[in-house]
Amino acid sequence: MKKFLYLLLLAPVVLLASCIKEDYSDCERCTLTFSYTGDVTWDIFPEQITRVSLYVFNSEDRLVQTKLIEQNELKAFQGTKLNLEPGDYRIVGIGNSFNKTEVMNLSSTSMSEIQFHHPKADEGGKVEGNDSLYLGQKMITIPSDYWYEDDVPFRSSHLKVSFTVKNYLNPSAPPAAESATRAGASLDLRVKNLLPQTDFTNKANGQKMTYDPVLTFDSEENEHYGYFNIMRHAKDSDVEFELVDKVTGEVVYTLALADFLNHFPQIDVSKQEVLIPIIIEFGMGVTVTVPDWLIEDRDPIYGEVE
């Protein structure tokens, strides 16, 4: 019995010894941690990223390994271990690539040609928005004689948009009808001129297209509202939001993103964690504003039309 216990205790030592001699071929000698600080000075990776799709490229930027790290693994260890031969590698990780994300051109040796986008973006299908995406990158060199540890920093690859429409009355209803009768889920939202994909240098690009985010109607508040993500766009992009009456097909209001951002400079799309909170209210005219928590002195006449 004592001999049996001795052998059990000796087994892990033998396995460990086989991984610390000259032959490292079976060892996961590369340990990588993941981090994301956003717009603060501390790590907020666990709050923002719940899944990482990892891609390992060799010194010639050819894909040599992929790995999917799920949320339960990230909770146990915010990173991963890799078995890599000595040499130079490029590590690329996509955070939160779920069913709204597809990676293309992985066989390319140019990071600007490898793209991730919505699976329907190149099929002409309806795209409601993107996953809340992040991209991590790091160049590493695996030595031949010892273990290697490093950190892969992530950056945001998306902008968040919240869109609220208040008090829209369906013009197809009889003018004499009560407001409650004329109100209803009667609006669609189109977001035009969007760059639908991002490359492995974290630059949005591609042939511009239109997204069709879902607007939910709240009958008690007479509000349409939606929340969705788009790829990162510059402040001076030509992105436009169009509100369309479902019954008549008429475009009832158009808002240029550049105009909105110029009027509300506190919304800085160069930051990592950005919410673009748009509120459009119909009344005697149309006003465009933002939530009270974002700005104290709102301009009530901005965007007013007759």
CA 169 to chain centre: 34
168 confidence band (pLDDT: 50, 70, 90): very high
Torsion angles phi and psi, residue 191, rounded to 5? -115, 110
Owner of token pair 């030509």: 238
What is the helix (H) or strand (E) element at residue 76, kind and residue range?
Answer: helix 71-76
Contact 52, 137 (CB under 8 A): no
Rg over CA atoms, the chain: 26
Entry pTM: 0.86
Give me the mean pLDDT over the 120-138 stretch. 93
pLDDT digits (tens, 9 = 90+) for 212-224: 999 999 999 999 9
Determine the 3-state secondary structure of 44 from DSSP.
coil
Contact 215, 225 (CB under 8 A): yes
Alpha-carbon gap, residue 141 to 88, rounded angstroms:
4
Alpha-carbon gap, residue 130 to 132, rounded angstroms:
6
Find the farthest-apart pair of alpha carbons in the chain and give their distance in angstroms, rounded.
95
124 confidence band (pLDDT: 50, 70, 90): confident
Give me the mean pLDDT over the 267-279 stretch. 97
Tell me which long-range contacts 178-182 makes (C-beta under 8 A, separation of at least 24). Answer: 179/222, 180/222
